[in-house]
Structure 1
Amino acid sequence: MNTLLDEYYRYDLHNAGFIERKFTIGEENTLIYGISQSGKSSLLKNYLLSHKKPTYLYLDCRDIRLNIEELNNTLPQFCRENKISILALDNYHESIRLFEIEQILLTSEVLLELPFSALQLPLLDYEEFLAFESKFDSTALNHFFQLGGFPAMHRIPSEERVLYLQSTLQRALDPIEFSILSQASKMVTQKVSAFNLYERLKSERKISKDKLYLHLESMYKRGYLKSLSKYNHPSAVKKLYLCDIAIKHALVLQKHFGRLFENLIFSELDKHGIECYYDEGIDFFLPQRQQIIIASPFANEHALFKKVEALEAFIVSNRVREVIVVTMNLESTLSHPVSRIEMIPFERWALSEGEE
């Protein structure tokens, strides 16, 4: 095991083309967690490369040459002998025993119960995405719809992106979870219960309810799937969203631009940690801002007035200050007796959320 550790210790880390994220690692013990290909390893390596090489040891815990029992017996002594102050365990699993050292950095798909600073790394929001673009022009939003928030998609040739994402998800997920994700991709933005998914999947494969519920809970916990509760009705059926719209492009041929657009707006709200709910006729209600957000890529004023009229009771009873209609490129402010209606292009809306 010393031979393998020495091999890793001598490696020159490479992190070519790293682009700064909104997230940084401090000097404390830190767990970086998030779904596969969210950029955890790149963030970790960028931090290590800012330190002198002899001071850190980087290990990828997926390496099949690592014998866990031997590693647990050997690693503390190896770090002491080489005066290593930073231990970085990429793709960490809990069978690896941790010990006292100046700083430990871990990456994982899930939040682990450790007395560490926890850094959840989401996929790129629109503002971060723009930093990955070679040039900022009118094509940027279209690229965002095509590529989504996976950082690696920018360096993958266009004809390989779908297969790349498919293989990434197949490696990261259990076969049942991959089937769940494929089925969920057909049901984005709809009210979907675990039983609904079970009914869809049981015709494709043999699966018990208990097993499906267990895997579904894991996918929500790890962040591959997202849900949205109904306002003031926590037991009502939740709306289903994907962590990234690129997944729908990769797994199903079915297209529905309106649903993709709504999922995109949800993702921006989710990445910025903004509390929101749905209600009948309302895509997103933000109680702390007293704001309703409607996803309407190709809105027209007449239809909006009719929609807001149907929501008057909700607007009055919940003291809604404004209705924000996120569009593709339409921009306008409308006067309405019960609430201000503002039509904002997605690009401007998403960048203003990034400044909050």
Structure 2
Amino acid sequence: MTTLLEEYYRYDLNNSGFIERKISIGEESVLLVGIAQSGKTSLLKNHLLGMKKSHYLYLDCRDLRLDVEELNEVLEPFCREHKISVLALDNYREGIRVFDVAQLILTSERPLDVPVMMLELNLLDFEEFLAFEPKFDSTALNHFFQLGGFPAMHRIHPSERLLYLQKTLTRALEPIELDILTQASRMVTQKVSAYNLYERLKGERKISKDKLYLHVQSLIDKRYLLMLSKYDHPSAVKKLYLCDTAIKQALNLQKHFGRVFENLIYLELLKHKIECYYDEGIDFYLPERSQIVLALPFANEHALFKKVETLEGFIITHGVREIIAVTMNLESTLSHPIARIEMVPFPQWTLAEE
């Protein structure tokens, strides 16, 4: 095992084509958490390449030659001997013993019980996506819908992108989890419980309800599935979203642009850490802002007024001051006696949140 560590210690890291992300690794010890292909390894290597090579040890824990018991015997003495100040364990395996170093960096697809600060890396939001685009013009939003937030999608030929996502998910998930995610991709933006998923899947494979519930929770813990609560009703059935809209395209043939658009808006709200909920007829209620956000990609002013009429009870009861209808390209400010109403194109809306 010492031979393996020597190999990694001599290894020259390569991180060509790295583009800065919104988060970075500082001087603290951290657990970098994100789903497969979210960019954890690139972010980690970018941090290490800013240091003197002899000061760090990078180890990919997926290496099939790695034996955890043997590694635990030699890793700490190796780091002491070579005066390693930064130990980076990429794709960390539970069971690998950690110890005091100046900086310990772990990466994982899920939160772990380790004595370091957790740093969550999301997929690209729209602003980050623009850094990968050759130019920012009217095609950028369409590209965002097609490619989603996986950083590697820009480097893959268009004919291979969906297969790339399928392979990524197949490697990252257990077969039952992939089945659950496939079923969930057909139910995006709908109110969905674990029992609903069980009812859909029990005819396709033999699995106990309890085991399926555990796998659903695993997908939620790893942030492949996202659940939105109903306002002031935490026990109500939650609305289901995917961590990336491109997953829906990769796992089923159903086309429903409105749902994809709503999913995209929710991802932007999450990435900007904005507290939000759903309610009947309301896509997103932002209580701290006294604001409602509606996903209406192709709505006109008349349709929006009719929509607001159905929400007047909620608006008055909760003191909503502003209603924003996020659209594809229509921009307008409407006069209304109850609340301010705006129609805002998606790029303008999400970049304004910055």
Q: Taking structure 1 as the reference length, what is the TM-score of the superposition?
A: 0.98
User: What does residue 328 of structure 1 align with?
Assistant: 328
Secondary structure at 2:289's aligned position in 1?
coil
**Count, aligned residues:** 354
Counterpart CA distance in 1 for 2:308 and 2:135 is 38
Q: How do residues 317-356 of structure 1 correspond to structure 2 at under 5 angstroms?
A: 317-353=317-353, 355=354
Counterpart amino acid of residue 248 in structure 2: K
Q: How does 1:60-99 map to 2 (within 5 A)?
A: 60-99=60-99
Return the letter of the residue paired with 2:215. H
CA distance in 2, matches of 1:325, 1:100: 51
Q: Distance in 2 between matches of 1:300 and 1:197?
A: 35
Q: Show the counterpart of 1:124.
A: 124
Q: Say whether residues 1:223 and 2:223 are aligned partners.
A: yes
Q: 1:181 aligned to 2:181?
A: yes
Question: In the alignment, which residue of structure 1 is the partner of 2:250?
Answer: 250
Counterpart mapping for 1:1-356 below 5 A: 1-353=1-353, 355=354
Distance 2:231 2:69 in 1: 50
One-letter amino acid matched to 2:230: K
Q: Which amino acid aligns with 2:19?
A: I
CA distance in 1, matches of 2:292, 2:147: 28
Which one is further off, 108-117 or 248-257?
108-117
Task: Work out the CA distance in 2 between the residues paired with 1:100 and 1:257.
Answer: 50
How far did residue 295 of structure 1 move?
Answer: 0.3
Distance 1:158 1:303 in 2: 36
**Two-structure CA RMSD over aligned residues (Å):** 0.7
Shift of 1:115: 2.3
- Return the letter of the residue paired with 1:350: T
Q: Percent identity?
A: 73
Q: C-alpha distance in 2, partners of 1:280/1:68?
A: 51
In 1: Cα distance, 2:281 partner to 2:67 partner: 56
Query: Aligned partners of 1:52 and 1:348: how far apart in 2?
Result: 42
CA deviation profile, 1:114-144 (whole Å, cap 9, x unmatched): 2212110000110000001112111100000
Q: How far apart are residue 169 of structure 1 and its match?
A: 0.3
**Alpha-carbon distance in structure 2 between the residues aligned to 1:67 and 1:263:** 41
Cα deviation, 1:1-29, whole Å, max 9, x if unaligned, reads 11111001111000010000010111111
Within 2, Cα distance between the matches of 1:68 and 1:221?
A: 25
* Cα drift, residue 82 of structure 1: 1.1
1:260-304 per-position Cα deviation (integer Å, ceiling 9, x unaligned):
000000010111111100001100000000000000000111111
Task: Report the Cα distance in structure 2 between the residues aligned to 1:114 and 1:208, rounded to whole angstroms.
Answer: 31
SS at match of 1:240: strand
Amino acid aligned to 1:138: S
Which amino acid in 2 is paired with 1:251?
L
CA displacement 1:191-238 (0-9 Å, x = unmatched): 111111101001111111001100000100110000111101111111
Show structure 1 runs of 4+ deviating over 6 A: none
| AA in 2 matched with 1:66 | L
The separation in 2 between residues aligned to 1:67 and 1:270, in whole angstroms, is 38
User: 3-state SS of the aligned residue for 1:118?
Assistant: strand
Amino acid at match of 1:248: K
Task: Give the residue type in structure 2 aligned to 1:283.
Answer: D
Question: In 1, Cα distance between the equivalents of 2:347 and 2:28?
Answer: 36
User: Unaligned 5+ residue runs, structure 2?
Assistant: none
**When the two structures are superposed, what TM-score results if normalisation uses the length of structure 2?**
0.99
SS at match of 2:288: coil
Offset of residue 38 of structure 1: 0.7
d(CA) in 1 for partners of 2:101 and 2:293?
A: 48
Q: Map Cα deviations across residues 302-352 of structure 1 (whole Å, 9 max, x no partner).
A: 111111111111001111010000000000000111111100000100111
Partner amino acid, structure 2, of 1:271: K
Q: For 2:47 and 2:76, locate their aligned partners in 1 and report how far apart those are by CA, in whole Å.
A: 22
Q: Deviations over 1:231-264 (max 9, x none)?
A: 0111111100000000001000100000000000
- Letter of the 1:347 counterpart: P
Unpaired runs of 5+ in structure 1? none
